[in-house]
Amino acid sequence: MSNAPDQNTPELSAEDLAAIEEKFDEGAATRKVTDHFALFLRYFSLLFATYHYLTAGFGLPPDYWHMGWHLSGLFILIYSLYPHIKTKSSFDLKTGAFRLGGVPYLDVILMVLGVMSALYIGVAWHGIPLLGIEEQTFRMGNPNTYDLVFGGILIVLVLDIARRTLGWILPFIICIFMAYALFGPLFPGILTHPGVKFKTFVSSMYFPQEGIFGVTLWVVSTIVFHFVLFGVIAQRTGLGQLFIDNATILAGRYTGGPAKVSVVSSAFFGTISGSSVANTVSTGALTIPNMKRLGYPGHFAGGVEAAASAGGQITPPIMGAAAFIMAEFLEVPYTTIVIAAIFPALLHYTGVFAVVHLMAKRLKLEGMTKDMLPKFTEVWRDGWANIVPLVGLLVVLFSGYTPYMSAFCGISLALVAGMSRFRQPITWVYPAFFIGFVIWKYMGDSFDLPMALILIAGAMIATFNPQARTTIPQMTDTIETGVKYALAVGAAAAAVGIVIGVINTTGVGFRIGFMVTQAASNLGSDLFALFNIGGFELIQVEDLTLFISLVFIALACILMGAGVPTTALYIMLVSVAQPALAQLGIPPIASHMFVLYYGVVAEITPPVCTSAYAAAAIANSNPFRTGISAFSLGLGKVVAPMAFVYAPVLLFVSSTGFDLIEFTYTAASCIAGVLALSVAVVGYWMAPMGVVFRILMAVAGLVFIAPSPQADLVAMLIACPAVLSQFLARRAQTKPV
C-alpha cells in the first residue's frame, strides 16, 4: 500500500462539513427564514438558554412550570425551524401571504396551541374557580374538559415535533404503544388487558410525574440541556481543538498514528458532545483525510472515526443524555454511573485500538513524522485555560452537588475563559458575576470553603487565557447553535414520556419481559440436549436461558435503533428489558448498562448507521462498507455488555459487591476475548491469517467473554491452532534465506 497522499480526499470547508452534518443528522437541517424572523429566533434562543442557565444556579421553579417553559420553547423553535415534510425545497426561504417570516401560518398556529397546552398545567395547577377548574390534585384521574382538550393537543403535537426533528420511526413506535393502551382487549394472549379509558389515558400522559411531564422531560430540561450547551460553548472556545492536539501528541507517532489520533480525540470530544454525528464531523474533518494520506482505505478511515465517535456516549466522565436518565431511573448519584462505565468504555477502546494497530501492521503503515506533530509546549502554552471549565465542572459534579449546579459552574467558567481577559478590565464583569455567585452560595452554606476557593481561583485564572477573546456576536452564535443541538433530544424525551406512561399504566413491560424469558427458557430447554453429552453437562439450562434472553434483547436494541436516537431507545427498551433481566437475577445497573450499550451499538450497525454515513461522506467512501468497518471496529462494545451481565463485578458498583481478584481475572479474560476478536476481524497478528484460523479466533474471543476458568480453558484450546500457525509463519518470515 502506497504512503503517498490520497488525491481523492478533497479538502472540505466549514460549509461542506455543515452540509454533511445536516444531511446525516436529522436534527441539524433547518429551514431558512427571513432576516427579521431569524433575529427573533436568535433572541428567543438566547432567552431560552439564559432561563435554563439561571435556574440551574439560582433554583428551579416547580416542575410543572419548569417543564412547561422548556416544552414551550421546543414548540416555538421546532415549528419555526423544521418543515412539516422534509423535501429538498422545504428548507429554502419562501415568503408570501400565508407565511410569517418564512414560516407557514399553519406552523404558527400549531406553535401557539403547543405553548398553550404546555403552560396550561401551570396556570390551572391551583385551579381556576372562574372557569370551574379545581386544583390539580382533585382532577388526577378525572380530567375535566379543558384537561382533555389541552392534553389531547399536547399528545399529538409532541409526536409531531419528534417526527419533524427525528423522522417517522420513533413516533410510529410510540403510536403502537398508545394503541396497545387504548385497545388492550384486541391484543392476543398474555398481552391482552381491559384497555385504558381515553380520559384515564390523557390524564396519565398529561399530568406530571408520569407521561409527557415525567422523568425524561425533567432530566432533559434540568440536566441534559445544560450539558449540551456546555459542550458546544467549551468546544467553540477552544477545548475541542485542545483535545485533538493532545490526542495527536499522545498517539500520532505510533504505528497507524492518525487512526489512533482519531480514536483518542473522538473519545475526548465525545465526552462533551451530545451527538455522534456532530462528533464524527468535528473530529473526522481532520483525522479522516490524515488516515487516508497515510494509506488507510477510505471505508476503514471512516469506520474508525464513526466507531470512536459513537463510543463518546459511553465514555466517562461526561456521558450522553441517557446516562443522566439512568441515574434518575436507578435513583443513584450520577457519579455511580460514571464509575460503572469505566471498564466497559476501556474494553470498547481496547478493541478499536487493537483493530487499528493490527490493520496498520498489516498495511505496513508508519506513524506521523515528528514535524507533523503539534508541539506539546505550544499546545498547552496557548490552550491551557480551556481545560479550566471542564475541571471546574467535574470538581463540582464529583463533590456531590447536583448535575445542573455543576453544569452552571462549567458554563460560567467557559464564558469567563472565552470572553474575559485580564488586560481588558471591561471584560472583568464575567468573572465578577460568577465570583459574586460563589460568595453568595458560600454565605448561604451551599458551597463549603474549599469548593468556593477552587471556583473563585478558576474564574480568576481563566482570565489569563492567552488565546484570542471570543466576542459577544461569536458567543451568541455559539449559544444559538447549542440550543439547536438540544431541540431533538428534548422532543424525543417529551415523546418517549408517553411510552413510560403506557408501561406504567398497562404493565406491558412485565408482560413482554415474561414473554422474552419464557421464549428463551423454551428454546434453552430444546438446545440443552445438544450440550448434554453422555450425561456430562457442558452448560446449565439457566445459563442457556440467560444467554438467549440477552441475545433477544440485544437484537431488539439493534433493530429498533435503526433511526431512533440512543436516549429514546434506551428509555423504551429498559422498561421492557429490566423486568426480563430482573427475573433472571441480573442486578439493575447491569441490565440498564446492557441496554444503553446496545443502543449505542445501533448507531454503527448497518443498514442505518448515520455516524458511519457522515464519516463516509468525508472519506469519499462507500457508505455501507464504511458502516461494516465501523461495526467491526466496535466489536468491543458489542461483547462488553455480555461480559458485565455475566460478571457485574466489572461495573465496580454492582449490588453483588466488588472483589479485586475476581475483577482482575474477569477483566483479563474479557480483554483477551476482545483482542482475539480484533485479530479475527483484521486477519493479521504476526503474519496474515487464513479464513479457518480467523473463524477459530473469533469463536475463541466469544468464549473468552464468558468469565469462568472452564470457558477460558476451552477458548485457549480453540485459539491454539491459530496462535501456533502465527508463530510458525512469523518464524518462516524471519528465517534467513
Q: Is 488 helix (H, G, I), strand (E, B) or coil?
A: helix
| Beta bridge partners of residue 533, listed in sequence order | 536
**What are the start-end ranges of the E strands in 578-679?**
none
The predicted pLDDT at position 371 comes to 78
Spatial distance between the Cα atoms of 682 and 526, rounded to a whole number of angstroms: 35
Spatial distance between the Cα atoms of 293 and 556, rounded to a whole number of angstroms: 39
Using a 10 angstrom Cβ sphere, with 0-12 exposed, 13-18 middle and 19 or more buried, the burial of residue 46 is middle
CA atoms within 13 A of residue 625's CA, in its CB half-sphere: 10
Spatial distance between the Cα atoms of 627 and 608, rounded to a whole number of angstroms: 8
**pTM, to two decimals:** 0.86
Q: Could you tell me the three cell numbers for 264?
A: 483518542
The predicted pLDDT at position 4 comes to 41
Using a 10 angstrom Cβ sphere, with 0-12 exposed, 13-18 middle and 19 or more buried, the burial of residue 381 is exposed
Distance, CA of 242 to chain centre: 22
Domain residue limits, the chain: 21-216, 659-737
In the block, residue with C-alpha cell 445544560: 226
Residue 143, preceding peptide bond in cis (omega within 30° of 0): no
Whether 603 contacts 609, CB under 8 Å: yes
**Average pLDDT of each block of 10 consecutive residues along the chain (737 residues)?**
45 67 67 92 96 94 94 96 83 82 93 96 89 84 90 95 88 91 87 88 83 89 89 85 83 76 75 68 78 82 83 77 84 87 84 84 78 86 92 90 92 95 93 96 92 96 94 94 88 90 83 80 76 62 78 78 73 78 82 84 74 84 85 75 83 74 88 89 86 90 80 88 87 68
The predicted pLDDT at position 5 comes to 42
DSSP 197: -
The predicted pLDDT at position 27 comes to 59
The predicted pLDDT at position 7 comes to 43
306: closest CA among 612, 713, 59?
A: 612
Residue 145 phi/psi, 5° resolution?
A: -60, -40
The predicted pLDDT at position 440 comes to 95
Q: Could you tell me the three cell numbers for 602?
A: 445501533
The predicted pLDDT at position 162 comes to 92
SS3 string, 526-537, reads: HHHHHHEECCEE
52: closest CA among 40, 61, 43?
A: 61
